[in-house]
Each structure stands twice: as C-alpha cells, then as structure tokens.
Amino acid sequence: MALVVMKFGGSSVADANKMKIVASKIIAKKNASNKIVVVVSAPGNTTDNLFESVDKVTSNPPLRELDMLLATGEIISISLLAMTFSSMGQKAISLTGPQAGIFADSSYTRARIKKINPKKIKSLLAKNSIVIVAGFQALNPKGDITTLGRGGSDLTAVALAAELKADLCEIYSDVEGVYTTDPRIIKTARKLDYISYDEMLEMAGSGAQVLQSRSIEVAKKFKVEIHSRSTFSQNQGTIITSEEKIRRKKMETLLVSGITFDKNQVKFTIVDLPDIPGVAAKIFSKLAKNSVNVDMIIQSAAVNKKNDISFTVCKQDAKKAQLELDNIIEEFKNSQVVYDEHVAKISVVGIGMKSNAGVAAKMFEILYKKGINIEMISTSEIKISCIVDERDMTKAIEELHKGFGLAKKVEKFS
C-alpha cells in the first residue's frame, strides 16, 4: 500500500459541487490501494475576505487574533469535505493543523513549521480512514494557533509528505501544471512535464504563482517530489524534482524552461551619489529597517567621484521607500531620487544556462530586434532578468518565448 498526500487549493473546494469532484478523485485514489492524507486550503476567496473583514475593524490587528481568524478558512474546508465523504459513505476525519500534530515557531502570520508529530494521523490511517488536514496552520510554543504565510497550505502538504515519507505528493489546483509562461497572456505557452526545484524557486520568485516558495524549499531539502496537476482533468501535470533526476533520466532539458514576468515593481534611481565607502550600506540598511523589500540592485561605476544606484521594490513598498529615500539623501548634497512605476521585470529561467554560454546575449538580441529597451539587468546562475517599459512587456514575453523555442506547435488547418 502506498501513502499519498493530496493537496487541493481554494478554487478546488470553492463550492459543494467542486467538493464532490474532489471527494470522488480522492476515493478513486484510495480504491487503487492507497492510504490518503488530504490537505485543503480555505474555499475560494475566503482568506482574502477574512482580511477584508479585519480592515473594517482595525488597521492594526493583534497578530495572535489575526491568525485565529485566518485559520478559520481552512477549518471550513476540512469539515465540509469530511461531511461530503460521509454523505458518500466513505470513512474520513478532519483535523486542524494543531490536531494533526503540526508545531511551528513563535512568529505569527508567517510561522515556520518546527516539527510534526504524526502519531494521530498514522493511527487514523491504520484504521483505514481518509485523513483531512487543514493547510496553512500550526500550533506555536504558547499553544496558540498560527498561520504559515499566504499559500501556506502547499507547505503543510510538502511537510506532511516529508514527515510521513509519502510515496507521492500531489498538489491539485485549477491549472494543469507549470507552464513555460502564463497561458492567459501567451496562447502558445505549454505545460512542462518536469521542472527542477531551483527553476521552480526562481520562477516563483519572479512572478509565476503556482506553488508557495517556501514549500518548494522544503520539498528540495527533504527530496519530496511534487506532482502539480489539475483537479478538473485527468491529465498528467508537471513533476517538480531534483536537477540530478532530470539530468539522469535525460528528460527534456531545455536551455530555458520558462519566462516569467512581474508588473508589481517600481524602479528607483538615486543619481549623483558620492563615491565613498558606506553609502550603499546606509541606504539599504535604512530601507531594510523599514521592511522595504528590495529586489534588483545595480550601481554604476564611478565617474568624477560620483555614481548612480538603481533598484526595484514591489509596488506596495514604494511609498515607504520614497519617504525613506527623501530623508536619506538630504545627507548627500546634490543627489536626487527619480522613480518609474511603469516598468515590468521579465525573467528567463533555466538550468540549461549552467552549461551553455550565450543565453544572456541571445535574450538581449531578441529584445533589441523588437526595439525593446532594457533598463536594468540582473543575473543568477539559472536566471536572467531585465527591467523594461511595461508597455513592452507582452511583446517581450512573446518574442522570448518564441526565440527560446518554448512555443508549442500550433496546428495549421489548410
């Protein structure tokens, strides 16, 4: 008998009909001789709605109480799903995160899982029950319920799969898997059969919203292979696994696996900063102290003892960043801050870059041929990102997607 962890996202349990589809899928899997642990998210937009209801009460909620409220979303899903099973004559039981033995550190709203005591889950599985666990929640050392950050149900699923040494960890959502780029924007985007943990992390960090980043980190650390697939079809999805396995099995290795984009960025440039030690330290530690998350940073080489620093921050942090920068540069006479919120970050991601030179050159060439100006560039071992004018975004993705050979062949009818 194999042990399978099946996680269903909020859109898969958004109403009673969808719950029935989910329950039937789970029963079919169980009948194929498996023990099943199910992890569910809150139905539909419940978590967003809970946040909105907080806004009506206060702009500064006590975090303990915020987590208490947010945890209710997943409790709706587990109990309703257990009732759905019962109506179908199937043995199932719901457990909150704490009841499932999931323990976290002491931070609220973004708690980290510290350990899992799987005793209760195991004894219920031994009694042939389907065990339904509320995602996104855990118990902290004070005995309070906490949450694991947005998208945290993915983390619950992967952590349980690691602890229980599950044979399979399936993450179901309303998309077929991981795509070469967003199929809502680029019609020729195609589903990848395999992708490595590192590529997935880079893609999640640069705009793709398939799985929570931390869940991928945990999957990588504990070697949990994830199958990301759709609740509403029988198709194979995308396997997220180690680079070694992809290489060993000589699976499809592409130079570039995906193109991601992020419109949620604002570009800041501080011009004419003095070229002396400590300037960057001062600027970025002030921003960090104010919890401004900085993404790309470039500093120009100094000319006449002056240089410029450009960086991007997410739109939500832009106001905070601007106020902070106005303060900081008072100290640097003649410096000036300029910003541009009409930018987009386009990234190409692929482990193929490690062994192939010229990917960056090819990216720049493709953009140049379409007259697209690159405003900033940053690279990692498996990613190259460019900031461009947001009006050029779709064109840039389209051309890169084609240029790197990712577009699926569209059938021609003659």
Cβ proximity to Mg ion: between 51 and 339 the closer is 51
Cβ proximity to ligand ASP: between 147 and 347 the closer is 147
Binding to Mg ion, residues 29-88 (CB under 5 A):
41
Rounded least distance, CB 13 to ligand ASP, Å: 10
Options 7-15, 98-106, 224-232, 318-326: segment touching Mg ion (CB under 5 A):
7-15
Cβ proximity to ligand ASP: between 38 and 318 the closer is 38
User: Which residue(s) pair with 147 in the sheet?
Assistant: 137
Residue 135 in contact with Mg ion, rule: CB under 5 A = no
User: Which residue(s) pair with 347 in the sheet?
Assistant: 260, 385
Question: How far is 40 from 85, CA to CA, in rounded Å?
Answer: 14
Residue 207 in contact with Mg ion, rule: CB under 5 A = no
Cβ proximity to ligand ASP: between 150 and 190 the closer is 150
Rounded least distance, CB 280 to ligand ASP, Å: 34
Positive or negative, the CA dihedral 283, 288, 293, 297 is positive
Please identify which residue in 3, 7, 8, 9 interacts with Mg ion, judged by CB under 5 A.
9
Options 5-13, 48-56, 177-185, 270-278: segment touching Mg ion (CB under 5 A):
5-13
Rounded least distance, CB 7 to ligand ASP, Å: 8
Sequence-distant (6+) residues with CB within 8 A of 409 are none
Rounded least distance, CB 9 to Mg ion, Å: 5
Rounded least distance, CB 194 to ligand ASP, Å: 24
73 binds, among Mg ion, ligand ASP, none (CB under 5 to 8 A by kind): ligand ASP
The DSSP call for residue 269 is E
Rounded least distance, CB 67 to ligand ASP, Å: 12
CA distances from 138 to 95, 104, 172 (A): 11, 6, 21
* Tokens (6 digits) for 187: 């019609």
Question: How far is 105 from 140, CA to CA, in rounded Å?
Answer: 6
Sequence-distant (6+) residues with CB within 8 A of 330 are none
The alpha helices in 187-275, defined as continuous H runs, are 197-205, 213-221, 243-248
CB 125 within 8 A of CB 38: no
Options 3-11, 21-29, 140-148, 377-385: segment touching Mg ion (CB under 5 A):
3-11
Question: How far is 77 from 28, CA to CA, in rounded Å?
Answer: 20
Rounded least distance, CB 257 to ligand ASP, Å: 24
152 binds, among Mg ion, ligand ASP, none (CB under 5 to 8 A by kind): ligand ASP
Q: Hey, what amino acid is at 35?
A: K
User: Which residue(s) pair with 388 in the sheet?
Assistant: 344
Residue nearest to ligand ASP (CB): 153
Cβ proximity to Mg ion: between 7 and 25 the closer is 7
| Residues near ligand ASP, by CB under 6 A | 10, 41-42, 47, 73, 135-136, 150-154
For the chain, how far is it from start to end, CA to CA, in angstroms?
Answer: 51
CB 384 within 8 A of CB 362: no
Binding to Mg ion, residues 371-390 (CB under 5 A):
none
Q: Number of C-alpha atoms within 13 angstroms, CB side, residue 121?
A: 29
Question: How far is 344 from 267, CA to CA, in rounded Å?
Answer: 9
Cβ proximity to Mg ion: between 41 and 181 the closer is 41
350 binds, among ligand ASP, Mg ion, none (CB under 5 to 8 A by kind): none
Backbone Cα Rg of the chain: 24
Rounded least distance, CB 155 to ligand ASP, Å: 8
Rounded least distance, CB 317 to ligand ASP, Å: 20
Cβ proximity to ligand ASP: between 100 and 346 the closer is 100
349 binds, among ligand ASP, Mg ion, none (CB under 5 to 8 A by kind): none
Question: How far is 219 from 359, CA to CA, in rounded Å?
Answer: 28
Cβ proximity to ligand ASP: between 27 and 68 the closer is 68
Rounded least distance, CB 80 to Mg ion, Å: 17
Q: Hey, what amino acid is at 147?
A: T
- Sheet of 238-241: strand order equals 92-95, 130-134, 34-40, 2-8, 168-173, 226-230, 238-241, 194-196
Cβ proximity to ligand ASP: between 150 and 245 the closer is 150
Residue 152 in contact with Mg ion, rule: CB under 5 A = no
Residue ranges that bind Mg ion, judged by CB under 5 A: 9, 41, 151
